[in-house]
Structure 1
């Protein structure tokens, strides 16, 4: 992917991020592009990404691990819904087993990235952090693959709460959980009702004196089994790889079935979910007030509670749910619009994450900044304004890794096609006018807040970002790349052909 007159880049491919996506990318590059050199740049000092960063009590997957895990590395843990440490251990074991960990450059933060049309290379500026010292250097590559997820690791969504400085207790952010925080015997208020909140509440209630979940409005919550009994039977009687594939297929079909049911029959889906919650809580009035959302199921991501742990904690009297708005913080806790004061020793604002693509870096092309929102996504991973660039973004209605692995396989296919046709660069080019649509078509607050910063999807074909793994798995690797991608030879080669003509 370089000409004879231009120096070879340091690496054929640079992967940014050593979480689930980055480790998966490393495996696919090794197996499907074995002649290519690659490195993984990780800003932190450990493998794992989200699963190493988030360490709040009870952190766990909100998807089953047979679909969240890699298709090439069977999930062997007994839990289908696994805790953070188990997931982190799995990621590290995978990296070590396949030698991917040897390709990682830790404490290496990307600060900028520029594409040169002259040399057909990316120049990536990084900051190496070693203790209190930091040094800068550049790394060049032919293809840049952003596997850093879409969360801001430096900051979550932080609403401004009136009077918070007057609060005499402790405010703890889930994204930056203090090590060895002692909340035993304490009164805890958790603000929010999303995935983080419904994880924290039952976990903290085991040791806290009392936990209150304070929400502005209810969220749809579905009960899922912590263990998969069918998977246990299959794993006991089949080889690990075969069992993993069968269970993975079963769970993919179940995930898509639930999603399609909610989308096509929202009234019936609401009835089923509310019926399940009422059966567990045995309190129709509580369900009506605190667990009946104003939106349809799966208009926002459905929160999963394994083995009904949240509802069981409520029934034990360890947890209260309050639906109200905050008026102001007071020294002893939080005063609500209703006038009620929630006393607290610790307040945890589980108010959501902040979306940020590519670690907040604004890529440039020949020195000019590229506005991501002005560009369209091809096959959910490449962008119209950026040559030799891809990003990994998972599903909103299914396990992240399902699309993540498809994306990495597609990136490898594109790279191999570049070699096949002698191209130095590749970029998506629309085959006609596109109707711009939001990249993530879901009503969740963290998505809606970021729509103006995200690239857009189109309304058809390769430009549409479908939230449907079954369709994507059937079409992604079969698509004719040359219909919507422009492959260009090295500039020197192109100039030579023109001159000789």
Structure 2
């Protein structure tokens, strides 16, 4: 008798990474570099590399973190530009991918649908659709370790409120997440709705230079804390002037920015009123007397309860001071055919309305359908271990950056931990790593900011605990000890 035909075995990889943005490229590069011999594959749902920095193409797109901490610690940012624009960051990611041979590991237009863990086999089975999400073919891979670097918001759709009268508006409505390449705003009246990082980037970018708008109005419901930051990093410039080696320049500027960021965050949390007074004083220096700082630049919450915005060279303040842009703090009553009418009764006419109203958080880790040993996984019921693994979910890692500092500072820490864990497991013959909390650990929110996009989706996220290693301090200096230096075999992580 002949054996019945069998389906070909699924391709097996050691580490399967989801997402080819800043986190995913860094993860793949360092696994290749520091754990040689591991087969690594990166699945990217879009058609190109770069994640956020490839998706967003709106005017002025840039980092709101300094590039000396936003760049990888192991690959210097070769410039003294502090807040780099999107194309420079995108090129940096592509350069790193080329240098570390990540290009050949990425499989584009692969959207992961499901991931199922089997303890008896010590492996994940991952199903992805290739091409059209609705009509594409599916492929199956197995992996010893699964690593989500997919971020936490939907690339397909930004957060778009619906206001009364929008259907009557005769102008153009644009969301920054899907900026039209052919949008011509030169000589037009532009209304930017929002007060976060996107809005404070768009307003100066659209109000100056060739092709500038006639006037840009920034309409905000609630002010945001905004601080000026030098376009060129002063430490990097000084060390370069002294002809220090490139590595010294990068590390010097990096650590200076780390210490300043951690120090200011701790200062703000401990003495919020003093921090508010300091921020207000700095903003007052940047603006003319006829702009009401208390109305437009004094939020009703403390610093770092939501993320602060940094503007390079005070460009936002300069736009307001020049008269090319203006700021209004109010709420929308209704859209009209020519613009919007506010609750106060004021009307703002606009040819183009940009809804810089934030983004939509996706289901955790790309919205994947997870199972563990045949049981559906309720991610919101899990505890985060060192903010990079989940209780009861073996051999699974995730990267979520800091909310109060550079995303990549945290991403690099996650990379260091995963590298150490893989090395430790290889040396001791372990196949499974699974963190397990004891009953004394109490749950609390994983992300403590009260920003709208977090509050709208907090119920979807795993929790953290009230003590280490289930709780991190959102402090890079402390987290380095917990993640980088604490023993892998800590009595909490089950290894077998």
Question: Does the pair score TM above 0.5?
Answer: yes
Distance 2:294 2:133 in 1: 53
Q: What residue is the counterpart of 2:283 in the other structure?
A: 277
* Match of residue 20, structure 1, among 19, 22, 34: 22
Q: What residue is the counterpart of 1:466 in the other structure?
A: 473
Determine helix, strand or coil for the equivalent of 1:238. Answer: coil
Number of aligned pairs?
482
Distance 2:261 2:173 in 1: 36
Determine helix, strand or coil for the equivalent of 2:155. Answer: coil
Q: What residue is the counterpart of 1:95 in the other structure?
A: 97
Alpha carbons 2:235, 2:256 under 8 Å: kept = no
Q: What residue is the counterpart of 1:386 in the other structure?
A: 393
Determine helix, strand or coil for the equivalent of 1:462. Answer: coil
Structure 1 position 300 matched with structure 2 position 306: yes
Q: What residue is the counterpart of 2:268 in the other structure?
A: 262
Structure 1 position 436 matched with structure 2 position 438: no
Structure 1 position 229 matched with structure 2 position 237: no
Q: What residue is the counterpart of 2:432 in the other structure?
A: 425
* Match of residue 218, structure 2, among 202, 208, 213: 213
How far apart are 1:130 and its partner, in Å? 7.4
Q: Deviations over 1:417-474 (max 9, x none)?
A: 2223322211111144211110011121111111100000000010002210011113
How far apart are 1:478 and its partner, in Å? 2.1
How far apart are 1:416 and its partner, in Å? 2.1
Distance 2:88 2:387 in 1: 29
Q: Deviations over 1:321-346 (max 9, x none)?
A: 11111111111111111111111111
Q: Quick check: which one's helix share is greater? A: 1
TM alignment of 1:336-415, pairs within 5 A: 336-356=342-362, 357-415=364-422
Determine helix, strand or coil for the equivalent of 1:463. Answer: coil
Alpha carbons 2:45, 2:112 under 8 Å: kept = yes
Structure 1 position 315 matched with structure 2 position 321: yes
Distance 1:131 1:466 in 2: 39
TM-score by length of 1: 0.93
Alpha carbons 2:207, 2:325 under 8 Å: kept = yes
Distance 1:362 1:428 in 2: 21
How far apart are 1:477 and its partner, in Å? 2.1
Structure 1 position 51 matched with structure 2 position 59: no
Determine helix, strand or coil for the equivalent of 1:433. Answer: coil
Q: Deviations over 1:79-102 (max 9, x none)?
A: 111000000001100110111111
Q: Residues 8 and 42 from structure 1, CA distance in 2 versus in 1: closer, same or farther, beyond 3 angstroms?
A: closer
Distance 2:473 2:182 in 1: 42
Q: Deviations over 1:293-352 (max 9, x none)?
A: 111111110011111111100011011111111111111111111111111111111111
How far apart are 1:37 and its partner, in Å? 0.9
Q: What residue is the counterpart of 2:5 in the other structure?
A: none
TM alignment of 1:437-456, pairs within 5 A: 437-456=444-463
Q: Residues 15 and 131 from structure 1, CA distance in 2 versus in 1: closer, same or farther, beyond 3 angstroms?
A: closer
Distance 1:84 1:69 in 2: 13
Alpha carbons 2:187, 2:213 under 8 Å: kept = yes
How far apart are 1:150 and its partner, in Å? 1.3
How far apart are 1:77 and its partner, in Å? 2.6
Distance 2:134 2:454 in 1: 35
Determine helix, strand or coil for the equivalent of 1:223. Answer: strand
Distance 1:210 1:306 in 2: 21
Q: Residues 189 and 8 from structure 1, CA distance in 2 versus in 1: closer, same or farther, beyond 3 angstroms?
A: closer
Q: What residue is the counterpart of 1:251 in the other structure?
A: 257
TM-score by length of 2: 0.94
How far apart are 1:284 and its partner, in Å? 6.5
Alpha carbons 1:393, 1:403 under 8 Å: kept = yes
How far apart are 1:123 and its partner, in Å? 0.9
